[in-house]
Amino acid sequence: MQSSNPVLTRLGEAARASRYETAYPGAPTRAMTMDDVVVRTVALLAITGVVGAGAWILLPASSPVTLFAAFMSGIAGLVLGLVISFRRVTSPAVIIPYAALQGVALGVISRAFESWFSGIVLQAVVGTFGIFAVMAVLYKLKVLRATPRFTKFVIGALIGVVVLSLANWLFYLFGVNLGLREYTMNGQVSWLPIVFSLVIIGVAALTFILDFDAIEQGARYGMPEKYAWYCAFGILVGLIFLYYEILRMLSYLRR
């Protein structure tokens, strides 16, 4: 199984390992199902949303404490996310704190964007879940399938936009902006950052097709139920990435 999501890419290794687990006494008696993944994904989204709302309401706006909280939760969430991904952690005791940390960062960042552009957060939320729902329907109806050619295209496109984004940021640190990204919140924006952001959103949307396929194959291979938490974590990562990019694109359009 191959997914453009770095989390779900490792499901193939886990699926192969699970075949050996079932050969020993004490192995899990129930395999993971798509419903298991859906329930856990909803739970993680609820935790992220509730914590995000709490950070939005309780943390004082534009204060050093709030900025520090957002920075530290972002760094801690990144580190914890990498640990979960590379060690294939399936314990909710680790994955739930990740969702909570991301909630803090999301709450603070979202409120900042909302203060600059009224109504933008609701638009970004609707756009994120709307795109996710459309991808789920297209996959369910088999309009889009994770064929080898499709998979290569999506992964290549994802690598391309990530490399270009990183290059633009590195050049910006040295005082040169390639024009693909805007890092300020004032002034007009040219068409290039808008187009580039739309391309990233399109690629991010297509990655969900690969994620759905990876999860479906994992369930078909009889992966243990505990991996439903890992799959839900992978979907959460993709949704957060898509939300941030939609938020950025909408801020461009407002300007």
User: Tens digit of pLDDT for each residue in 107-124?
Assistant: 999 999 998 999 999 999
Sequence-distant (6+) residues with CB within 8 A of 50 are: 103
Q: Say if 82 falls within a structural domain.
A: yes
- Residue 231 in any domain: the answer is yes
Note if the pTM is more than 0.75: yes
> 190 Cβ partners below 8 Å, 6+ apart?
179
pLDDT at 29: 57
**pLDDT at position 65, please?**
80
pLDDT tens digits for range 61-113: 777 888 888 888 888 888 888 888 888 878 889 899 999 999 999 999 999 99
Q: How far is CA 147 from the centre of its chain?
A: 22
**What is the per-residue pLDDT across 155-186, written as a single tens digit (0 to 9) for each?**
999 999 999 999 999 998 888 888 888 888 87
Most confident of 21-25, 42-46, 63-67, 180-184: 42-46
How does residue 23 score in pLDDT terms, banded at 50, 70 and 90? very low
Whether residue 3 lies inside any domain: the answer is no
- Domain of 36? 8-19+30-254
Judge whether 1 lies within some domain: no
Quote the number of domains for the chain.
1
Q: What is the mean pLDDT of residues 215-233?
A: 87
φ, ψ for residue 30 (rounded to 5)? -125, 135
Q: Is residue 92 part of a domain?
A: yes
pLDDT at 15: 53
